[in-house]
Chain A
């Protein structure tokens, strides 16, 4: 069976690429420390030596639209073009081409449906910065095949938080039952408190540092029960109007498992948002 060698949860700040590549007067004062943190985080994936990456993220109204909106969607394609015009325009992100691990996509779809998730799928998916940002930060050589999994954290009505956790648990079961000798890492990105298009956006910190502090503890401790006890679709409006992206962190807690403390935890308090980076090595792997 395949081996789950790393579980990684991260924010996906679209400005990292531009900040980290800027030079001279264009380089922001926070860039050097940010790069140092990212390179340290990257090492947690590198040392797991994965063959395949399962990438959990969310389309930001690029290919997926209100006329046909899936809740959970798995890409099944040999290749994925990446990044959209408005991401190049606003964030300076490059166009990219990623390779797909189609047999694992097929396995996740078939077995995932049989496990209780009626997953949507796409045979021609252009992926956006929720998946390319962690490629840029964690695997910039972009040399590994991926299985993209999109969640709807954007276009209500949304699935309940507990459903994200359940999907995470199911993804782990599917990977660990995949008849293959591949080493698989799961990388999922979301947000802590975040405001986009509202009065609390682009402040000196994230919109709700108190929520961020609690959220980091829930994730670092694998405290799914405590998190589910406080987080609901309604409560997530309070820390910031885009905070439902936190449910992708909850999905990753489901992959890692109840009570599983993260082996690597780091944060970086930036303008606009708190960055947060977590790695688990399942089954005592590289601890």
Chain B
């Protein structure tokens, strides 16, 4: 399990307007492309110096490919990264604050303590 890699996906998609749209329209294809070509990129290094060992497990890949943010929460993905990206993806489809309250409702089964987000 790689909370770090989940976070890296959320972070690198969220900061790029084109990738936000690509992930909204084609989540499974975007996740496959990203894991193949982007997962190992060290953000402050050239491509030839990418990491060689970073992979999603099946559950992580499926959660990202299905926009399943409650599953990402359960896996310990950083809630701020998940929330920020998913607001960017779906807020436009709801009334003001509608997506944010729907997001809370879909996590209403969660009890304390929350999943550990330490990477």
Q: Point out residues on A near B: beta carbons under 8 Å.
A: 60-62, 65-68, 84-86, 89-90, 154-157, 196-203, 237-238, 241-242, 271
Contact = CB atoms under 8 A, between A and B. Distances in A.
Closest 3 CB pairs of A and B: A197-B79, A197-B83, A199-B107
A70 to B, nearest CB: 14
Contacts of B103: 197, 201-202
A66 B8 contact: yes
B53 interface: no
Interface of B: 4, 7-8, 11, 14-15, 17, 42-44, 73, 78-84, 87-88, 91, 97, 100-101, 103-105, 107-110, 112-114, 117-119
B9 to A, nearest CB: 12
B81 A61 contact: yes
Given A198-B104, A201-B103, A68 B80 contact: no
A60 B100 CA distance: 18
Contact of A237 (B15, B83, B101, B112): B112
Contacts of A157: 118
B114 A237 contact: yes
A86 B84 contact: yes
B110 A198 contact: yes
A69 to B, nearest CB: 9
A200 B82 CA distance: 15
19 contacts: A61-B81, A61-B84, A66-B7, A66-B119, A68-B44, A85-B17, A86-B15, A90-B91, A154-B80, A156-B118, A196-B80, A198-B73, A199-B107, A199-B110, A200-B104, A201-B100, A202-B97, A242-B79, A242-B80
A197 B70 CA distance: 9
Contacts of A62: 15
Nearest to B82: A197
A62 B11 CA distance: 8
A220 to B, nearest CB: 28
A270 to B, nearest CB: 12
Interface centre among A86, A154, A155, A199 (most CB of B within 10 A): A199
A237 B43 contact: no
A65 B110 CA distance: 27
